[in-house]
Amino acid sequence: MFDDFFIRALVAGIGIAFVAGPLGCFVVWRRLSYFGDTLAHSALLGVTIAYSLEFNIAVSIFLISSAIALILIQLQKKTNLPSDALLGLLAHSSLAVGLVVIGFLTFIRFDIMGLLFGDILAVNKKDLVTIWVGGALILLVLRLIWKPLFASTVNYELAQAEGLNPDRAKAVFTVLLAAIIAISIKLVGVLLITGMLIIPTAMARNLSDNPKKMVIFSIIGGLLSVFIGLFSSLEFNTPSGPSIIAAALVLFIFSLLKVKQTIQLKN
């Protein structure tokens, strides 16, 4: 059954949607969307390193993204630049360096469009294992740090005062973000992974009044986006990443109707 490229892409997308939902909620709650973007941009550098050293792509992306996160934390401590400037600096310079390195690796044929925007044909059976095993691990770890992470998202001092360890939870969460980027790059692409994290979550926010509901709705939103996006990608021969994200956008726009209704009810 996994011999069909479309089935493989679908199975990969379903796996990513399940992980992107809960992680995306924390990205939105903790205002980390630009941070996620920076990690994703650095993934391209990870891909080139993987190719030149003949190393596992997912592991390589994971390591590079984690390294970029560490560099960011150091720069935040040691410079007087605001965080958004540092994020921009790292995002664009790592993307640029990644593209320059690709230019040097003339002996390998890269599908740059595929790397940037995802490629429905690129998902192989090994990727499916990476996505589902990696995804399960990410969700398991997230479950373990949920309480301190959530509590410190609401209020850092409260969480710390009452004996949870918010700093550790934050560090682990950063690693989880690097991990989901690593497993979803083939399907969604470097430039659009953050969209997969944020847009279904934004839709879910419009429909929920409590955190659990928001997580569930963002998973459902992600799944619908994957289904609609991949079918239209197949139908119209569009790149898979943009198709999924565009589908998510349509769902988000529909969710705005619900927000309008609740506002009207309030008045």
Q: Which is nearer to another protein, 112 or 154 (CB)?
A: 154
> Which residue of 70, 100, 136, 154 would you call a contact of another protein, by CB under 8 A?
154
Q: Rule CB under 8 A: is residue 29 a binding residue for another protein?
A: yes
Q: Rule CB under 8 A: is residue 153 a binding residue for another protein?
A: yes
Q: Which of 19, 12, 35 is nearest to 194 (CA)?
A: 35
Q: Rule CB under 8 A: is residue 220 a binding residue for another protein?
A: no
Minimum distance from residue 240 beta carbon to another protein (Å): 29
Q: Give 192's contacts (C-beta < 8 A, 6+ positions apart).
A: 117, 118, 241, 242, 244, 245
Distance (Å, rounded) from C-alpha 127 to C-alpha 114? 15
Minimum distance from residue 153 beta carbon to another protein (Å): 7
CB 49 within 8 A of CB 61: no
**Stretch binding another protein (CB under 8 A), from 37-45, 75-83, 119-127, 151-159:** 151-159
**Stretch binding another protein (CB under 8 A), from 26-34, 46-54, 71-79, 219-227:** 26-34
What is the dihedral sign for C-alpha 74, 80, 83, 86?
negative
Q: Rule CB under 8 A: is residue 150 a binding residue for another protein?
A: yes
> Which residue of 211, 216, 232, 249 would you call a contact of another protein, by CB under 8 A?
211
Q: Which is nearer to another protein, 24 or 229 (CB)?
A: 24
> Which residue of 4, 163, 237, 263 would you call a contact of another protein, by CB under 8 A?
163
Task: Tell me the H-state helices in the chain.
Answer: 5-29, 33-53, 57-78, 83-104, 112-117, 125-154, 156-161, 166-188, 193-207, 211-236, 240-266
Distance (Å, rounded) from C-alpha 20 to C-alpha 95? 22
The residues of the shown chain that bind another protein, judged by CB under 8 A, are 28-29, 31, 147, 150-151, 153-155, 157-164, 205, 208-214
